[in-house]
């Protein structure tokens, strides 16, 4: 049976997911979107051929509701949805920090809720989506979430207690790599390369390293050692990274992201 899926709050991650679902073969006619602004709705209609509706209409007519608003907007959205969501719907939340209990408490009793933390590479079918069940979500509900998010990358299941950590690692993860590329491109400029060339060199090094990490089966230490020649260039750079505490900075950064995710749990942010 065809399921209707509504993306509620179709911003950056909602649109990335919507575009991926269409690439994965979902029919635009089975997808609904909601937005806060009319111009945004019009853009999504034109771009993807999907229908834009109100949150209440989406709650009444869609089988699966994907909540993709900011954590701070979740309370208001759930207030709007509550009168219309029946427990035969599946509610999937992609919001950082927001727990399934927060959502369950605001919707009809026994409404199945699944919490998912995707990341923006869903745009290129290389996403990572971390999935956890709420108290009323069955294996079939989890399988539905796997189908939706598995169409745009990998999925992995974790207990909900690990979602804040997963958010720090993979939800926010792409941003850390962009940050590194940006910083290394600046280094290339310092070393006298034109910006475009510095960017190309670093991006290709990143892609090459990412594919080797994924496909070689080697531990990252082994891969780094293979680049690090005795008395060579790489070890000179590594010594500076260690001197500047980059490893400690990354550990502290991800801990801060995990803590922020926990803070967002209240929905007030």
Ligand X SMILES: O=C(O)[C@@H]1CCC=N1
Q: Which is nearer to ligand X, 53 or 128 (CB)?
A: 128
Dist CA 88 CA 122 (whole Å): 28
Among 41, 53, 96, 166, binds ligand NAI (CB under 6 A): 96
Closest distance of CB 6 from ligand NAI, Å: 10
**116-137 per-residue burial string, b: 16 or more CB within 10 A, e: under 16:** bbbbbbbbeeebbbbbbbbebb
Q: Which of residues 150-169 bind ligand X (CB under 6 A)?
A: 167
Question: 3-class SS at 94?
Answer: coil
Q: By CB under 6 A, is residue 172 in contact with ligand X?
A: yes
From 42-50, 92-100, 156-164, 201-209, span contacting ligand NAI (CB under 6 A): 92-100
Q: Which of residues 49-108 bind ligand X (CB under 6 A)?
A: 96
Q: How far from chain centre, in Å, is Cα 122?
A: 8
Question: 3-class SS at 268?
Answer: coil
Q: By CB under 6 A, is residue 132 in contact with ligand X?
A: no
Closest distance of CB 34 from ligand NAI, Å: 4
- Residues touching ligand X, count (CB under 6 A): 4
Q: Find the distance separating the first CA and the last CA of the chain, reported in whole Å.
A: 39
Q: Where are any strands of DSSP class E within 28-176?
A: 31-34, 51-52, 64-67, 90-93, 113-117, 127-133, 153-157
Q: By CB under 6 A, is residue 13 in contact with ligand NAI?
A: yes
Among 120, 162, 228, 266, binds ligand NAI (CB under 6 A): 120
Biggest distance spanned by C-alpha atoms of the chain: 69
Question: Would you tell me which residues interact with ligand X (CB under 6 A)?
Answer: 96, 167, 171-172
Question: Would you tell me which residues interact with ligand NAI (CB under 6 A)?
Answer: 8-9, 11-14, 34-36, 55, 68-71, 73, 76-77, 94-96, 117-120, 171
């Amino acid at each position: 049976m065809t399921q209707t899926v509504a993306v509620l709050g179709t911003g950056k991650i909602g649109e990335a997911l919507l575009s991926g679902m269409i690439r994965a073969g979902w029919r635009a006619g089975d997808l609904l979107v909601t937005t806060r602004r009319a111009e945004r709705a019009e853009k999504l209609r034109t771009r993807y051929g999907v229908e834009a509706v109100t949150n209440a209409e989406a709650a009444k007519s869609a089988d699966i509701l994907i909540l993709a608003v900011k954590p701070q907007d979740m309370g208001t959205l759930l207030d709007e949805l509550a009168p219309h969501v029946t427990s035969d719907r599946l509610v999937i939340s992609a919001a950082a920090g927001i727990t399934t209990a927060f959502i369950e408490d605001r919707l009809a009793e026994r409404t199945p809720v699944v919490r998912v933390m995707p990341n923006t590479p869903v745009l290129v079918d290389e996403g990572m989506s971390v999935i956890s069940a709420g108290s009323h979500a069955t294996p079939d509900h989890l399988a539905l979430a796997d189908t939706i998010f598995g169409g745009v990358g990998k999925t992995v299941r974790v207990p909900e207690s690990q979602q804040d950590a997963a958010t720090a690692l993979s939800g926010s993860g792409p941003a850390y790599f962009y940050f590194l590329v940006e910083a290394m491109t600046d280094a290339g400029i310092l070393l006298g390369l034109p910006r475009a060339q510095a960017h190309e060199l670093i991006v290709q090094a990143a892609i090459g390293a990412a594919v080797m990490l994924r496909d070689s089966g080697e531990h990252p230490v082994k891969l780094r050692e293979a680049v690090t020649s005795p008395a060579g260039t790489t070890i000179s750079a590594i010594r500076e990274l260690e001197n500047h505490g980059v490893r400690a900075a990354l550990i502290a950064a991800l801990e801060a992201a995990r803590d922020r995710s926990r803070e967002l749990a209240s929905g007030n942010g």
